[in-house]
């Protein structure tokens, strides 16, 4: 497609159909070009309209291309399993996998440009949804991790933290993902405190095995509580639908 074809494509201004009689420029007329058989003089009103429209369409196309490349870059945060669920073209899947392996800046930049080119051939909405879901899940995991760290530090540092923990997360006698041994937790806290006091003056506090096990226990209880909450929310929605039915 040449420049005159680009200018005439999709215009609101009516132009002759291809194959129509060609309008010859009159003698002495300025330089110009033909669009569907119509001579457009350079600098004329039609010429300015056509060129403005062409520039606008190119700008829109460039913005869309840039947006697709940025979306393609977000594919790198997805795991191989998440990418497989999107049913993407094999070339795009391989290009993303290769981009994850490239460490050279210039090489990565060129690979991302290639991914942006491949992105023009796929439906972007499922990818946007997958990326957003991954980001939401990652943020939730980070929040849960910080909460577990706060509880661990509080339990080891403060005597009043354990009663607060028990009140919020009562120990159960039945085996299950949300159960824990209260006596074990007490013993781990005592040992973690001893480990912290065992260090020499001026040295960084010692964080031994008990310190890590307190964190693991706390994180397990918090995670089980989150799973139960999500299950309850889902069950509540089903119940509402049943009632409505």
Structure tokens at 126: 């499922």
3-state secondary structure of 110: helix
Q: What are the Cα distances from residue 188, in Å, to 110, 169, 176, 183?
A: 52, 17, 20, 9
pLDDT for 229 beyond 70: no
Q: Do 213 and 114 have their domain in common?
A: no
Residue 80 lies in a domain: yes
Distance of CA 9 to the CA centre of its chain: 36
Q: Do 183 and 89 have their domain in common?
A: no
Mean pLDDT within 66-90: 85
**Which of 62, 96, 122 corresponds to the end of one domain?**
122
CB neighbour list of residue 36: distance below 8 Å, 6 or more residues apart: 8, 15, 16, 17, 18, 20
Q: Do 113 and 201 have their domain in common?
A: no
pTM of the model: 0.43
pLDDT for 53 beyond 50: yes
The CATH number covering residue 178 comes to 1.10.60.30
Q: Do 13 and 100 have their domain in common?
A: yes
Mean pLDDT within 91-97: 92
Q: Do 163 and 205 have their domain in common?
A: yes
- Domain of 199 in residue numbering reads as 138-233
| Separation CA 176–CA 211 (nearest Å) | 23
| Separation CA 8–CA 14 (nearest Å) | 9
**Which of 90, 122, 154 corresponds to the end of one domain?**
122
Q: Do 117 and 14 have their domain in common?
A: yes
Residue 244 lies in a domain: no
Give yes or no for a contact between 172 and 166, defined as CB atoms under 8 angstroms apart.
no
Q: Do 111 and 172 have their domain in common?
A: no
- Per residue in 159-217, pLDDT (tens digit) is 999 999 999 988 754 444 445 788 899 999 999 998 888 766 666 566 788 998 999 89
Sign of torsion over alpha carbons 229, 230, 235, 238: positive
What proportion of the chain, given as a percentage, has pLDDT over 90?
Answer: 18
The lowest-confidence range among 107-111, 152-156, 208-212, 226-230 is: 226-230
Give yes or no for a contact between 71 and 119, defined as CB atoms under 8 angstroms apart.
yes
């Amino acid at each position: 497609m040449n420049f005159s074809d680009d200018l005439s494509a999709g215009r609101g201004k009516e132009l002759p159909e291809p194959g129509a009689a060609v309008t010859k420029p009159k003698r002495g007329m300025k330089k110009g070009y033909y669009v569907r058989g119509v001579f457009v003089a350079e600098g004329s009103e039609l010429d300015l309209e056509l060129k403005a429209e062409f520039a606008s369409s190119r700008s829109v196309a460039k913005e869309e291309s840039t947006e697709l490349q940025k979306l393609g870059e977000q594919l790198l945060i997805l795991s191989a399993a998440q990418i497989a669920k999107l049913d993407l073209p094999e070339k795009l899947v391989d290009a993303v996998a290769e981009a994850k392996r490239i460490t050279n800046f210039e090489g990565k930049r060129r690979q991302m440009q290639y991914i942006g080119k491949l992105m023009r051939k796929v439906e972007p909405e499922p990818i946007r949804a997958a990326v957003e879901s991954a980001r939401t899940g990652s943020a939730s995991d980070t929040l849960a991790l910080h909460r577990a760290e706060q509880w661990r530090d509080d339990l080891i540092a403060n005597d009043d933290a354990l009663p607060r923990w028990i009140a919020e997360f009562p120990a159960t006698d039945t085996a299950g993902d949300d159960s824990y041994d209260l006596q074990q937790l007490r013993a781990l806290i005592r040992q973690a405190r001893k480990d912290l006091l065992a260090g020499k003056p001026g040295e960084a506090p010692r964080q031994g095995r008990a310190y890590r096990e307190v964190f693991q226990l706390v994180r397990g209880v918090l995670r089980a509580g989150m799973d139960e909450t999500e299950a309850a929310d889902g069950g509540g929605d089903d119940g509402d639908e049943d009632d409505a039915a």
